[in-house]
Amino acid sequence: MVNKKLCLVSLLAVSLVAAPSFAETKKNTKKPRAKPAVTAPARQPQPKPSAQTPPPVSPAVVAPVAAAQAAGVPFETKARSAFMIDLSTGTTLLDKDADRPIPPASMTKIMTIYLLFDQLKKGAITLDTTFMVSEKAWRTGGSKMFVPLGKPVRVEDLIRGIIIQSGNDAAVVVAEGLGGDEARFADMMNRKAAELGMKNSHFLNPDGLPAEGHVMSAHDLAILALRTMQDFPEYYHYYSEQEFVFNGIKQGNRNPLLYDVAGADGLKTGHTDEAGFGLVASAVRDGRRLIMVITGLANMKERSEESRRVMEYGFREFETVKLFSTGQTVDQAEVWMGQASHVGLLADRDVILSVRRDERQNIKATTVITTPVPAPIAAGTPLATLKVSIPNRPDMTLPLLAQAPVDRLGFLGRIEAGVVYLFSGAPAPAAQ
């Protein structure tokens, strides 16, 4: 009689506590949709959580990941510093001394235009607003828009004069119109740079003419280009215009990629004796947008050739691979004491990678989970982690969520499950 009571107590205990201490380790044979070259997710055991704690879930670091660096044979460039990123995934395709502060020359004007676009978007000015041309602006040397002394100039003309003609005089007109003078406008530039996360930039003027301490990094220039596209899509088209006539003078856009690289649509060149020849450029093909920054080239010809070579490298050597779509079932988890024996695991976002074309065969996706998962389970609960591995790269991870709610078994169902587990070591089938 005592033994029967002990047995009953044991069954009750097993049926009322959380999942038993064992982990699912079977290989999932489901392959990512339409990607046969990618290894299917495999289960990887982890230490057990306590009865009340859900399975551990790593923070989502899945693409886009700005810190991800594509592996492979290093790409050599003549540029003093260089940076290229695939915006479809946030993957860095090229990084050569990209965080070193350097004189940016006229690439500075991307920030001047950013602040002008910002005022347009806020409604503080319009494209027909005019700014007066001061003597200081009129006398500014270097590349010029040839603004007339003491005359008003429309904001839209100033935009084209800065972007297409790289007018230093136009940049000063904008600085005085928005900030009152160059010094206060430089303060506006520096505040905006800090807000955008540009950690290696400091501005002293709106045009990029040489000034000790006036610096940007290639990485910061890419950040600024990206934010220009994201924040002001309605104005970005000015960067793709190839020529502009003002004051009877026709000038062409100095960006060489606009003329002979498919999909190129921006942004800005720069040159001083100290800085050399540089370019911030972007191009889009088949849904992939790249941003490229190169600096410190020897002359215009070298800038033109090297920028074309770097951009074509990004499109030719890399491809975008979509492993899973938002809401797609990636795997399933075994459930303990639930009305269903298993629950689907969903990706909460698209899982897209930029990889070298020879890396596709080496992509490995692994589901990291402790099973069985104790019921009840609410739909959308993080239950596992998808780990995506590519040789010589940091792993990328994201949470996998419960596809549907799973209620806990009733009292008798838990007793039955406890009996099955006690004698067989396996959870009982779910209630039908």
Tell me the pLDDT tens digit for each residue of 3-20.
433 343 333 344 444 444
Please count the CA atoms within 13 angstroms of the CA of 281 that sit on its side-chain side: 32
**Tokens (6 digits) for 59:** 């923070």
Q: Which two tokens stand for residue 414?
A: 């838990």
Confirm if 203 and 211 have CB atoms less than 8 A apart.
Answer: no
What pLDDT score does 360 carry?
Answer: 85
User: Which CATH number does the domain housing residue 413 bear?
Assistant: 2.60.410.10
Candidates 71, 69, 95; CA nearest to 81 is 95
**Whether 222 and 364 share a structural domain:** no
| pLDDT given at position 1 | 41
Are 239 and 340 members of one domain? no
CA distances from 69 to 285, 334, 394 (A): 21, 35, 8
- Give the pLDDT confidence score for residue 22 in this predicted structure: 42
- Confirm if 332 and 41 have CB atoms less than 8 A apart: no
Residue 8 is predicted with a pLDDT of 37
Give the span between the Cα atoms of 233 and 61, in whole angstroms. Answer: 27
The listed range with the strongest mean pLDDT (30-39, 75-84, 317-326, 352-361) is: 75-84
Query: Are residue 224 and residue 330 in the same domain, yes or no?
Result: no
pLDDT of residue 12: 39
Mean pLDDT of the chain: 83
Which one from 81, 106, 134, 143 is the annotated catalytic residue? 106
Residue 307 lies in a domain: no
166 tagged catalytic: yes
What pLDDT does residue 151 have? 97
Question: Are 248 and 146 in the same domain?
Answer: yes
94-112 pLDDT, tens digit each: 999 999 999 999 999 999 9
Per-residue pLDDT band at 357 (split at 50, 70, 90)? confident
Please tell me whether the peptide bond between 64 and the residue prior to it is cis, using omega within 30 degrees of 0: yes
Percent of the chain with pLDDT over 70: 78
160-183 pLDDT, tens digit each: 999 999 999 999 999 999 999 999
For the segment 79-108, the average pLDDT, to the nearest whole number, is 95
Provide the number of structural domains found in the chain.
Answer: 2
Q: Which pLDDT band, with edges at 50, 70 and 90, does 230 fall under?
A: very high
Write the DSSP assignment of 308-352 as a string of letters. HHHHHHHHHHEEEEEEE-TT-EEEEEEEESBSSSEEEEEESS-EE
- Residue in this structure with the two tokens 């930039």, named with its chain if needed: 201
Instruction: Kindly state the helix (H) or strand (E) to which residue 82 belongs, with its residue range.
Output: strand 81-86
SS3 for 31?
A: coil
Decide if pLDDT at 302 tops 60. Answer: yes
Q: Where are the alpha helices (DSSP H) in 238-330?
A: 257-260, 300-317
- Co-location of 60 and 120 in the same domain: no
Confidence check: pLDDT of 135 > 80: yes
By mean pLDDT, which of 13-27, 237-251, 377-391, 412-426 is the weakest? 13-27
Question: What's residue 393's pLDDT?
Answer: 82
Contacts of residue 293, defined as CB under 8 A and 6 or more positions apart, other chains included, come to: 81, 82, 83, 84, 98, 218, 219, 221, 222, 225, 278, 279, 280, 281
Per-residue confidence (pLDDT) for residue 215, from 0 to 100: 98
User: When comparing pLDDT for 87 and 413, which is higher?
Assistant: 87
Confidence of residue 396 (pLDDT cuts 50, 70, 90): confident
What is the distance between the alpha carbons of residues 415 and 385, in angstroms, rounded to a whole number?
31
How buried is residue 389: exposed, middle or buried, by Cβ count under 10 Å (0-12/13-18/19+)?
middle
Find the length of the chain.
432
**Which listed residue (81, 96, 109, 307) is catalytic?**
109
Tell me: do 205 and 273 sit in the same domain: yes
- How does residue 415 score in pLDDT terms, banded at 50, 70 and 90? low
- Based on the domain organization, do 212 and 344 belong to the same domain? no
Q: By C-alpha distance, which of 14, 60, 26 is closest to 334?
A: 26
Does residue 2 form part of some domain?
Answer: no
Q: Is the confidence at residue 54, as pLDDT, over 50? A: no
Please give the Cα distance from 199 to 218 (Å, whole number).
11
Q: Are residues 226 and 100 in the same domain?
A: yes
Whether residue 311 lies inside any domain: the answer is no
- pLDDT for the residue 359: 85
Strand pairing class (243-246; 396-402) = unpaired
Same-domain status, 242 and 332: no
pLDDT at 42 over 90: no
User: What percent of the chain is predicted at pLDDT more than 90?
Assistant: 61
**Geometric angle at alpha carbon 362, from 24 and 308, rounded to 5°:** 145
- Provide the 10 A C-beta neighbour count for residue 379: 12
User: 97: left (phi > 0), else alpha (psi -120 to 50), else beta?
Assistant: left
Pick the catalytic residue from 15, 81, 166, 304. Answer: 166
Tokens of 84: 């290229």
Highest mean pLDDT among 111-120, 339-348, 382-391: 111-120
* Active-site residue flag, 106: yes
Q: What is the pLDDT of residue 78?
A: 95
Residue span of the structural domain in which 26 resides? 18-65+323-424
Question: Phi then psi for 110, rounded to 5 degrees?
Answer: -60, -40
Which residue has better confidence, 141 or 339?
141
pTM reported for the whole predicted model = 0.78
109 catalytic per annotation: yes
Judge whether residue 198 has pLDDT over 70: yes
Which residues face 408 on adjacent strands?
Answer: 338
pLDDT for the residue 66? 37
Same domain membership, residue 180 and residue 263: yes
Is 13 inside a domain boundary? no
- The pLDDT score that the predictor gives to residue 26 is 36
Task: Please indicate, yes or no, whether residues 42 and 91 belong to a single structural domain of this protein.
Answer: no
pLDDT at 417: 59
Other Cβ atoms less than 10 A from the Cβ of 200: the count is: 17
Q: Does pLDDT of 44 surpass 80?
A: no
Whether residue 28 is predicted with pLDDT greater than 60 in this model: the reply is no
Q: Is the pLDDT of residue 341 over 90?
A: no
For residue 152 the two structure tokens come to 């008003």
If we measure between CA atoms, which residue out of 53, 40, 90, 48 comes closest to residue 70?
A: 90
Final residue of a structural domain among 236, 262, 297: 297
Q: Which amino acid is at 102?
A: I
Q: Which pLDDT band, with edges at 50, 70 and 90, does 423 fall under?
A: low
- Asked if residue 346 is part of any domain, the answer here is yes
When pLDDT is averaged across residues 344-358 and rounded to a whole number, the result is 89
